[in-house]
């Protein structure tokens, strides 16, 4: 469930996380997302960020289960379990491309401690 008002949000920190081990993490840059109402009046979320494709391909070599952790407003944290992800197919080591994400299995607000545990930030 999304309890945010409709609008466009800038993300302070975004990480793709190995959902199985929580040990492999990949930071995303310039992340934003939008909350809007669909035709049924249900809130939806979709966003985008920049990702290093080669690093993502290497992450997927270790796991197929990837979650997304977001921090914004400096103290609001979301965990998207098994998000729907679309990304380009450029595999140059330093090349970044757009990653598009939306809610997959579930979305939940989490604590700063849970965010730190997922991402390794602040440990």
pLDDT tens for 83-115 read 999 987 766 777 888 999 999 999 999 999 999
CA triple 43-49-50, angle to 5 deg:
165
Neighbours of 113 (CB within 10 A): 10
> Does residue 7 surpass a pLDDT of 90?
yes
Task: Note the pTM of the prediction, 2 decimals.
Answer: 0.91
- pLDDT per residue over 12-42, tens digit each? 999 999 988 778 899 999 999 999 999 999 9
Which pLDDT score, from 0 to 100, does residue 123 have? Answer: 54
């Amino acid at each position: 469930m999304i309890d945010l008002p409709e609008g466009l949000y800038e993300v302070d920190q975004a990480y793709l996380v190995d959902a199985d081990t929580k040990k492999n993490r990949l930071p995303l840059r310039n992340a934003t997302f939008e909350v809007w109402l669909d035709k049924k009046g249900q809130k939806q979320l979709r966003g985008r960020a920049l990702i290093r494709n080669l690093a993502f391909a290497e992450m997927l070599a270790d796991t197929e289960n990837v979650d997304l952790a977001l921090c914004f407003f400096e103290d609001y944290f979301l965990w998207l379990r098994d998000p729907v992800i679309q990304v380009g197919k450029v595999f140059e080591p330093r090349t970044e491309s757009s990653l598009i994400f939306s809610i997959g299995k579930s979305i939940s607000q989490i604590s700063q401690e849970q965010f730190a545990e997922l991402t390794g930030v602040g440990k």
